[in-house]
Structure 1
Amino acid sequence: MLSCNSHIIFFKRIYCTAVKCKPVVSLEESTKQALDAGRYKPRQHEGRLTSGCISLPSSIVNAILKSCTDHPVKALLAEGAKLDNFLRSRKVPLERDELRKKIIECRKFVGDEFRDRFNTEEMTEEQLAYANKVVEAQSKKRAKQQIYAWKPLDYDAYKSLEYLLGRSPAEFSVLMRIFEEIKKRDTEFKPRSFIDFGSGVGTGIWAVSNIWKENIFEYVLIDAASAMNELAESLLRGGEMNKAMNLRNVFFRQFLPASHNKFDIVLSAFSLFELSSKKARADVLENLWNKCDGYLVLVEQGSFAGYLLIEEARQFLLDKIAASGSDWHIFSPCPHHHQCPRLKLADGTPCNFESTYNKLPLGNHSEASKFLYSYVVFKKGLTNQTRFPRLVRPTLVRSKHSICRMCTEEGKLQEIIFTATKHEKNLYRCARSSKWGDLLPIKIT
């Protein structure tokens, strides 16, 4: 015969099996002690990483204005906006096997349609030959409509200016957020060298020098378009090529150097879309990882296609590094090394984050805007940092409760409702003040 306590334990097991148990949430101990001692307020907790609206430095804005003096600014802004929209909606290039398969499917579909409408058995050889030509033409037309026609972008001097006006404020704000997180969470990191694959107009060097200018003594910028390199160099010289740079040892290249030199920060931002195949991307990623001696930062559009590229790169590096046996960890945004739980859901929703930025003060385009991006940061070496859950969607703030949707150390998506009555005051306030992309210093059991 079961005792009363045994009955209670048995009931709890049955109940927890049938109904999902609510998680027990508590503040991380050091954070709890700091808040209790009044060293900072809940809205300033250590997991707060998101910054406000980010603007380009005034020196860069002045250089941009000088670079555009010989061109119609209104037309450049309009074309830059079109280019930005195109890049935000870009798709991953199909592999050859996938492309061949889709073409065969289109041809089969058109052929079946034709046979349903006409009796091919009664046709003469000439009619059949003509029908085959019609089917082939219709198949090509259907394929062009249904298959994404990827091609690499060719940047000349004018198109580089379009990119500058249409994209640079948004890209700068994204990279500033990522580098600021590295600086805040790794206070002892003092980079001495930086390499940027697909450097474009130079947003990477603007951001990294804005934070570690006193430490970095070597910058290597790589872009296949010579016009991009020329524009990037001009902007670093204040918009005039005869002026001196205020940065030391800046080198421009069109291809990744074959040397085995190591760099403290290796960046590839918005460049993976320019590579034509999975193998090409893998080769570049392997090369970048071999050049990394600190942080490897990969950034893409916050679209589902951009997220898939980041997840492909993340998984490739996880497999490669695990096989090598070297010390490493994912620094951000993932608090785990498992497969992305968003990918497991297979609902077409990307893991992305949002950055707020001020547009260039040209015409009527000085207002604030938002930009979605997906990224991953790998760090060479082990870490002793606690892996806090990261908010992967905006916090839903209501009158007496807040809903936080997070990615946890177990590689799972978890939604927790924090209330003023059921949770301690500081925990509730920390959750309520946290934003999309922040870490929440809590323990979930």
Structure 2
Amino acid sequence: MGVELPAALRAALDRELEGVSRRGLAERAARTSAAYRSGQGSAGVVRGLEDALAYALARLPATYAACATVFAEAARMAPGFAPRTLLDAGSGPAAASWAALEAWPRVEHITWLDESPPFLDLAGRLASDAPAPLRASDRRRADLAAPGAGWPHADLVAASYALAEIPPARQAEVVASLWAACDGVLALVEPGTPAGFARLLAARQALIAAGADILAPCPHARDCPLAAPDWCHFSVRLPRSRDHRLAKGAEAPFEDEKFAYLIAARPGLAATARAPRVLGHPRAGKPGIDLRLCGSQGLEARHVPRRDKPGHAAARRLGWGDVFEG
């Protein structure tokens, strides 16, 4: 059910949890989440390995699931893109790096940038039995809010749930530095909140102005047609382990992670033709299926009648975030 952690990462996380109080981790996870929601960054929140482990237990599965979904879309949109190098900016416990290696197994060299030594330490421990590029990752302590100091170029640059920790006045500069380091594809992932969407909308405008091609989720380079209180976001379902449920103080065996994202590419990268994208859940009724789409000209409402058997069968398989080929 949903997007699961790779077996090697799941096993590594279980090893780190051996002998550790689950109640203590749950308390740390709750404090960490509250601190993040109040606007604190990793440097002030994650002060030791146990804080990093509590965060990973609570957030690593969802971060991985969102990144895996975004990278799968990047691979679909640019089927010839085969990155050999990855820059994981604001890497935390490196969920994005694991997801990238699943999507593009030919990645050979990975650089982690993070301000938090405990995160870099935990990421290395979790990668102790991982594929070689993760084990041999270049781990650099770096404050993304002071960008550009020796960041290496990479075919794929990813920043997942990182812009949220950057002061608003510095976010444009960080996006510019990420783009400057990118030789192929830049993937930004943020919480699926109005604030997360606003950060990505600003990044989108800046990247288009800088000459980037937007691969997804937008099927166009026009102004975003959505207006408040609406915002563009998506959802991915992931299973919760027993420890994950304890850390989250939850009982449901699954979680629906809401996220927003942006995939930008250097001009000239071969890409699949854009198609309208489904916004929200399709609505099925007796007459047919109603879809809300973002298309080349903006927002569209599409009704696929039941009498259109091939079209209706195809529409029944569509979910939130999928492209509509009809």
| 1:246–1:253 distance in 2 versus 1, CA, 3 Å | closer
**2:128 corresponds to which of 237, 246, 250:** 237
- Contact between 1:156 and 1:228, CA under 8 Å: does it hold in 2? no
Partner of 2:183: 293
Secondary structure of the structure 1 residue equivalent to 2:183? strand
**1:371 corresponds to which of 257, 260, 272:** 257
Partner of 1:73: 22
**2:11 corresponds to which of 62, 85, 102:** 62
Structure of greater Rg: 1
**1:6-405 → structure 2 map (5 Å cutoff):** 53-81=2-30, 83-84=32-33, 87=36, 90=37, 150-153=39-42, 154=44, 155-157=46-48, 158-213=50-105, 215-238=106-129, 247=134, 249-255=136-142, 258-259=149-150, 261-278=152-169, 280-319=170-209, 321-322=210-211, 328-342=212-226, 345-346=227-228, 348-362=229-243, 367-382=253-268, 383=270, 385-405=272-292
Task: Give, in whole Å, the separation in 2 of the partners of 1:174 and 1:440.
Answer: 21
Q: What is the deviation of 1:77?
A: 3.0
Measured on the aligned residues, the alpha-carbon RMSD in Å equals: 2.3
Aligned length: 313
Q: What is the deviation of 1:259?
A: 4.0
- Contact between 1:84 and 1:167, CA under 8 Å: does it hold in 2? no
| 1:283–1:273 distance in 2 versus 1, CA, 3 Å | same
* Matched residue type, 1:181: E
| 1:229–1:413 distance in 2 versus 1, CA, 3 Å | same
Q: What is the deviation of 1:79?
A: 3.6
Partner of 1:114: none
Task: Give, in whole Å, the separation in 2 of the partners of 1:191 and 1:367.
Answer: 35
Identity %: 25
Secondary structure of the structure 2 residue equivalent to 1:441? coil
Q: More strand by proportion, 1 or 2? A: 2
- Contact between 1:266 and 1:288, CA under 8 Å: does it hold in 2? yes
Task: Give, in whole Å, the separation in 1 of the partners of 2:164 and 2:152.
Answer: 26
Cα deviation code 1:222-247 (max 9, x no counterpart): 00011110011011014xxxx99574
| 1:359–1:85 distance in 2 versus 1, CA, 3 Å | farther
Task: Give, in whole Å, the separation in 1 of the partners of 2:300 and 2:131.
Answer: 52
Cα deviation code 1:77-122 (max 9, x no counterpart): 35425644765xx4xxxxxxxxxxxxxxxxxxxxxxxxxxxxxxxx
Partner of 1:406: 293
- Contact between 1:294 and 1:379, CA under 8 Å: does it hold in 2? yes
| 1:384–1:171 distance in 2 versus 1, CA, 3 Å | closer
| 1:254–1:193 distance in 2 versus 1, CA, 3 Å | same
Q: TM-score, normalised by structure 1?
A: 0.66
Structure 2 unmatched runs, 5+:
247-251
Q: What is the deviation of 1:260?
A: 7.0
- Contact between 1:74 and 1:363, CA under 8 Å: does it hold in 2? no
Q: What is the deviation of 1:415?
A: 1.3
